[in-house]
A and B are shown apart, each in its own frame.
Chain A
Amino acid sequence: MRGQWTCYATAVRMTFVEHLRNRLALVIVVVFIPVWAILIYALSLEIALPFHLRAAGRTVTLPANVLNQLAGALQISALITGFMMFVTTLGSASFDRRLVRAGFPRLSLIAAKLTALVVVALCVALYATGLICLTHPTAQPLLLTAALAGGALIYGGIGIALAAVLTTDLAGLVLVTVICSIDLALQSPLATPAAASVVVRYLPDYGPMQWAVSSVALDTVPWNAAGPAACWALVTAALGISAFAARTRVHRPLGEPASVSPVRSHP
């Protein structure tokens, strides 16, 4: 007997099979995150840089290599999650539509994609947090995990939404990379003097970046940063879900007897 739980469990299984078959993404996760996190820390200058923690209402001073590492970890987590979600959503578009037309509940597929997004984001964030903690002491590792997972969730949602309008893996990778690079470059005091500007509050990774820096520089949690991050995560997830729902819209499921629609009289 088919229940909602069976459908959801099947959809989750499908989604994880798809992710595990994406060998390139897995290699990037396993190999490039440590390379990126450790090299960027080891090779950056240790000069002190001021960083405006707008969410905490104060400016902290951190070594440039730590700031670079945090921004780098946010970027690689976001890029990997965004790319993984983009690739699986794009690659399964026709198949998902066929499954839905056969009667597979769309809600189960959506719930499975969101489950996968959360699991991927958490795994990537925990892995990156562990690596960062190995290189230097972190006052609040859980806050750092939350920051990295938040950024990954936001870009995962962007990946799902982009899969509705783009047609190739390359286009998705380029666009996610460009958006993420602009987002973090504008927040880096090393790259741009605009980092302290009020405009940065509206960037997708504003909340995650504020929390990531706070996890190293503060003993408290600046909750003000949670709102914008939650908004971005919800908006991008909603966009992704809407795009997926539009693409898999079926005018009548195939697997079940159709409800009889009135036949219009033919003139």
Chain B
Amino acid sequence: MPSEEPVLRVRDVRKGYRGGPVLRGVDLDLPPGRVMGIVGENGAGKTTLLRVLAGDLRPDGGSVRHGGRVGHCPQETVLHDAFTVEQHLRFFQVAYGLEDLRGAEELMEALRFSGSRRARPATLSGGTRQKLNLVLALMHDPDVLLLDEPYQGFDWETYVRFWDLAGELRARGRSVLVVSHLAYDAARLDILHRLEGGVLRVADRAADRVADRTGAL
């Protein structure tokens, strides 16, 4: 029986900027093999929380414990215009200490990556850049994947493939944490939280979906 020990445990995380506190004491447990969503309004602190979880920002207080390898896909595509797709993969292969690029190639195939591996990011479409951004976060098969609005720029087909990929990860015992400002993916999630007032609350899925629809009108 697989262990239910959380692969991500967050306790009383607080973070503020000059404008005031953003996170006022976030608690979170992400068990293995779960897809969790965090929704919240613009400016609620979702990206700040994800950056703290990814180790990109130091929290003012509290603790974050990871139980394995972590992958982080930032909201904006962090690629280098001087490097080709192939060079991006090679550099991250060294960073992750991977023997080969088989994992990355499988991911590119799963996401139907259409760009040439000799192309540079500036010549790729927004969606293709985002696919590369995602592959770089996933190619080392992390135990926990942190995703910040990962499907911006994806067409519908790629969006569906992304969720298929998330399902495959879950089936293999990997955990995925997706941050979004909309809750219309709620049906695809095992757990849904809402970040509000600087703290996380278990979200009412039905209410969130109605609110999203109303907001979209």
Binding site for B on A (CB under 8 A): 2, 6-7, 10, 14, 17-18, 21, 91-92, 94-95, 97-99, 101-104, 250-258, 260-264, 266-267
Contact = CB atoms under 8 A, between A and B. Distances in A.
B69 interface: yes
Given A103-B96, A263-B9, A264-B12, A18 B82 contact: yes
A250 B68 CA distance: 17
The interface residues of chain B, by DSSP majority, are classed as: mixed
Contacts of B83: 14, 17
Contacts of B79: 95
A253 B68 CA distance: 11
A261 B67 CA distance: 10
24 contacts: A10-B91, A14-B87, A17-B83, A18-B82, A91-B81, A92-B80, A97-B56, A101-B72, A102-B92, A102-B96, A102-B136, A104-B91, A104-B95, A251-B55, A251-B58, A254-B70, A254-B72, A255-B96, A256-B97, A258-B68, A258-B70, A260-B67, A261-B63, A261-B65
A252 B63 CA distance: 12
Contacts of A103: 95-97
Contacts of B136: 98, 102
A94 B55 contact: no
Interface residues of B, number: 38
B68 A257 contact: yes
A264 B55 contact: no
3 closest Cβ pairs, A-B complex = A104-B95, A252-B55, A102-B95
B74 A98 contact: yes
A225 B56 CA distance: 43
Nearest to B79: A95
Interface centre among B81, B90, B94 (most CB of A within 10 A): B94
Contact of A264 (B54, B62, B68, B72): B62
The interface residues of chain A, by DSSP majority, are classed as: loop
Given A263-B9, A263-B11, A267-B12, 15 more contacts: A10-B91, A91-B80, A91-B81, A97-B78, A98-B78, A102-B140, A104-B91, A254-B55, A254-B71, A255-B95, A255-B140, A257-B66, A261-B63, A263-B65, A266-B11
B27 interface: yes
Contacts of A263: 9, 11, 63, 65
Interface string B145-175: 0000000000000000000000000000000
Contacts of B16: none
B142 interface: yes
A250 B95 CA distance: 14
A119 to B, nearest CB: 17
A10 B54 contact: no
Given A21-B82, A254-B69, A258-B70, A104 B94 contact: yes
Contact of A266 (B27, B78, B82): B27
Interface string B76-119: 00111111000100111011110000000000000000000000
Contacts of A7: 94
Nearest to B69: A257
Contacts of B54: 101, 254
A261 B92 CA distance: 26
Contact of A91 (B57, B63, B67, B82): B82
Contacts of B142: 254
Contacts of A255: 69, 95-97, 140
Interface string B7-20: 00101100000000
Contacts of A256: 69, 97
Nearest to B70: A254
A245 to B, nearest CB: 15
A92 B83 CA distance: 11
Contacts of A94: 78
Contact of B97 (A2, A101, A262): A2
A10 B98 CA distance: 14
B147 to A, nearest CB: 13
Contact of B87 (A17, A98, A104, A250): A17
A262 B11 CA distance: 10
